[in-house]
Chain A
Amino acid sequence: MMFTQTWLLPFVLLATATIAAFPLSRYLAWIMDGKYRPLPVMGWFEKRLDSGPQNWKQYIGSLLLFNTVLFVFGYLVLALQPFMPLNPDGKTMLFPSTIFNSVISFMTNTNLQHYSGDQHLSNFSQIFFCISNMYISAAIGLCALAAIIRALRSDKSLGNFFLDMWRVMIYMFVPFAFVFALIFLTQGSPMTFKTSHQVSTLEPAAMGTTDKGEAKQQNIVVGPVAALESIKMLGTNGGGFYGMNSAHPFENPTALSNFFNTLAMMIFPFGLVIMYGRMLGRMRHAYVIFIVMLALMAGTVVWSVYYDTLKPNPGLTAHAARTLEIPGEKTWDMKKSVTYAAIAGLPVDQHLGNLEGKEMRFGTSAGATFDALTTDVTCGAVNAEEDSLNPIAALSPMVGMWINSIFGGKGVGMINMLLYIIIGIFIAGMMVGRTPEYLGKKIEAREIKLAAIALLVHPFMILAPVALFAVTHWGVDAVSNPGAHGFSQILYQFSSASANNGSAFDGLGVTYGFYNATSPAPSAIAFDIATGLVMLFSRFLPIIAPIAMAAYLGAKKTSPVGLGTLRDDDATFGLFLVATILIIGALLFLPAAALGPIAEHLGPFPVGG
């Protein structure tokens, strides 16, 4: 029974998303290739938006210009919050650095939140800032992928950015978001423009009493939750209406809503990989990529569930006495041994695994499963507290962010995978002493440079700021857990920012709050600015460079397939791709992992106090 309760949910989720990917990819390709015929009304809008065929420079230019407009719009909406309607509680303006961070965060599809939606945003901001950015930023990545595909198949033009955006939002996101929102609505997600209910609790004064001696009421925040929830998940955005995101009972009321919540973030990333093969006419190639991604995803899910659901929280269990040899205080070659006394366990039944930071209604393994998937597909929503995961289980969501292409976010995951493919083929070509080719196009110095830049932005944007923050008071003042876990908190924050993920180890003090906050987190401004810049660079460089690379590749002559051609649609290629990803993507981060989650896992337990 325990076996079923643990493994059935993740298995059904992966299977359902895989099955859904096939019809979905057909639909996606049909839309992106413009084979549909719009209704006359919708055609009018398309004509207004279409500025004609674009080359890659024009496409990138439009993309960047539009993002600039989006930045201004987002900044205005948040900055003007106190003057906007739907704000009966009189929520004031967030601190400017937090606005800067949040605007970039939502514009880049990251949704790292240095604020709490339930405490800091009015319903107007939730609708016009969050929902609008959730539609738009998700579409941008998908358009970039479509442009790359068109470049790779040597189309005359890369299409039109504005028309692509419109197609993605109106024909893909709106219908799916509406249906999923209806599911969440039936399960209990609120959909109202009211902001809160004041209720007197069943046991009078159970919330305590006010200074006047009256019973305190419970203030239940509601709002247009269902509308936000569906596009939050479908667009792999992940920015919750409430501070605790998909763990909050209004965002995710039942086991059924949790199933669709989880599925929603998977279907588009799954479908896009097959769409890639469909649009290129290379289905077998896409299947190999899909299987590689699925295998890596299954690995992260099994890891997370095994170490978090099937193992107890080690903070509460017994630990044997142990003696460790550590370097001496003054000279590194002098060894010093430290003895830790045995610790008796606390009498807690942990057969359901680590329950700290988990909700009960989703199912036994739902939290661990969600935590792994949310970083694989670069969503960043959470239905359990990542900070309280068992230390070694938390490695799984981190690896998801570091690799950043286990299906990955909307379009950008597939783009990142394309970079691994190019680098992998290049290495393979070097090994056999043959000019590497992808889709029959020769990969030369310029393409490799662009691919390497795009790929190395990510580790640089994580490791450099982590190093800076870990040794300065910026990081030290922000961590809420002692020892190795404190380092993990900083590492997670920048990994999440650079992967455009948005989940977090929530204990990290990064919230400034309103501009007149009385006790802001001491490092909030430093984190606002640093993660803001990281999100910006890690979003746009890995979109711009691959489009350019694809354009250069596409302009080349296609060489005929010969006996010496490296096949890109067989098991050898799949294994080679996995090796490339693990060596380049994961090994870069091994030292950081050793200082964080691995060190914490090895103990001793507990620390601090």
Chain B
Amino acid sequence: MFRYLSKSILLLVFSVVFCVILYTLALWAVGQVFFPSQANGSLLMGPDGKPVGSRLIAQPFTKDEYFQPRPSAASYDASASSSSALAASNYALRDRVARTLGPIVAYRSGPKAGQPVAPDIEQWFQKDAFQGAPHIVAQWADMHNSLAQAWVTGDPTHTAYVDNWAKSHPKEVAQFTKDNPGISQPKASDLAVVFFKNFSAENAGKFPSSVTRTGKDGKPATTIEPVKEGSDIQSIFFDMWRQDHADADIQDVPGDLVTTSASGLDPHITLQNAEFQLDRVAPKWAADLKRDQAEVRKEIEQILQKNAFAPFDGLAGEKIINVLEVNLELRNKYGAP
């Protein structure tokens, strides 16, 4: 027994020395000497010679002049990779995708072919009827309690808005505590559904959104106000609009544009996705540079084609581009947007 214990410890020591220490040090030496770029994270240098990121790690872009990477469940945090882990059957997945789609999709055929769907969503929303019944916002909150709650808790200004509402609506709050005897001191998130139902009745065809105005002191101030148009309505209510307009023929959006990757850091998008975004990117650069749109588009198209590659030359997959590399090339060619 004791003999086996000493052999066990010896085996552990030997294997740590050979398989862990020597093995790791040897690889480290080879990496640092022969493949220094890869071994240190494949960093890319920006226009000022400082690293702007890693070739292999997606980073966010908000400006329309740049191509955007796939949405990230990790918020592009390269120290906490993460997937959405949303099941196909989870409504949260469909909701997330629908919100991305609303503001960007366009009709494919019919009298409005090529035109964006968004204005029609707003018009439909202002009529305030879904599947023949009145009050879209009330129905939305009723069908999707957790989305209504997520709206309330998602932003401190939203929570404050609902808290204020609760103060000015003691009757509704009292009714809620009567219906839910378990909750004596309802928080803003508890009241989410009641709030939206009441809001919908008082503000037909409107949704609470943040509005930025110049205040009396000359500084911009953001408040929550009932609005009847804007990106909130286009995104949150696209799926409901779609259910009311099942026959509308809408252009498909590339799948990788609306789905999150497994790592949340996928540095690539499909060439198809890039071509789709080119409709946004090229006019924006042309306007910034005050140049002909067609010409700029042709130049950027060339950059895309030059950068596109496919897994195993197309034997295993379709063409993709590296978003950061392409955007870096745009930045170097056209300057800061």
Interface of A toward B, CB cutoff 8 Å: 1, 4-5, 8-9, 45, 48-49, 51, 58, 61-62, 65-66, 68-70, 73, 116, 118-119, 127-128, 131-132, 135-136, 162, 165-166, 169-170, 173-174, 177-178, 181-182, 185-194, 196-197, 199-203, 206-207, 218-222, 224, 226-227, 231, 242-244, 247-250, 253, 255-256, 313-316, 318, 342-344, 346-352, 354-367, 382-385, 387-391, 480-485, 488, 505-507, 600, 603, 605-609
Contact = CB atoms under 8 A, between A and B. Distances in A.
Given A199-B53, A364-B317, A224 B243 contact: no
Nearest to B247: A344
Contacts of B93: 313, 315-316, 356, 388, 606
Nearest to B93: A315
Given A191-B39, A388-B88, A608-B91, 9 more contacts: A116-B80, A162-B10, A169-B18, A182-B27, A191-B31, A202-B59, A207-B59, A360-B266, A609-B92
A608 B92 contact: yes
Contacts of B144: 609
A127 B23 CA distance: 10
Contacts of B246: 318, 342, 344
B183 to A, nearest CB: 19
Nearest to B39: A191
Given A192-B28, A506-B83, A244 B316 contact: no
Contact of A185 (B38, B63, B76, B143): B38
Interface residues of B, number: 115
Nearest to A197: B41
Contacts of B83: 244, 247, 357, 385, 387-388, 506
B7 interface: yes
B66 A203 contact: yes
B316 A363 contact: yes
A605 B87 CA distance: 11
Contacts of A358: 259, 261-262
8 contacts: A65-B5, A118-B80, A132-B16, A166-B11, A344-B242, A360-B317, A390-B88, A482-B90
A603 B89 CA distance: 8
Contact of B16 (A51, A128, A190): A128
Given A190-B41, A202-B59, A358-B262, A485 B89 contact: yes
A164 to B, nearest CB: 10
Contacts of A389: 88
Contacts of B20: 127-128, 131-132, 135
Interface stretch (B44-52, B163-171, B202-210): B44-52
B178 interface: no
Given A249-B56, A250-B41, A8 B51 contact: no
Given A132-B15, A481-B89, A347 B262 contact: no
B262 A367 contact: yes
Nearest to B19: A135
B316 A192 contact: no
A170 B23 contact: no
Contact of B84 (A187, A206, A221, A356): A356
B132 to A, nearest CB: 12
Contact of A119 (B8, B24, B79, B318): B79
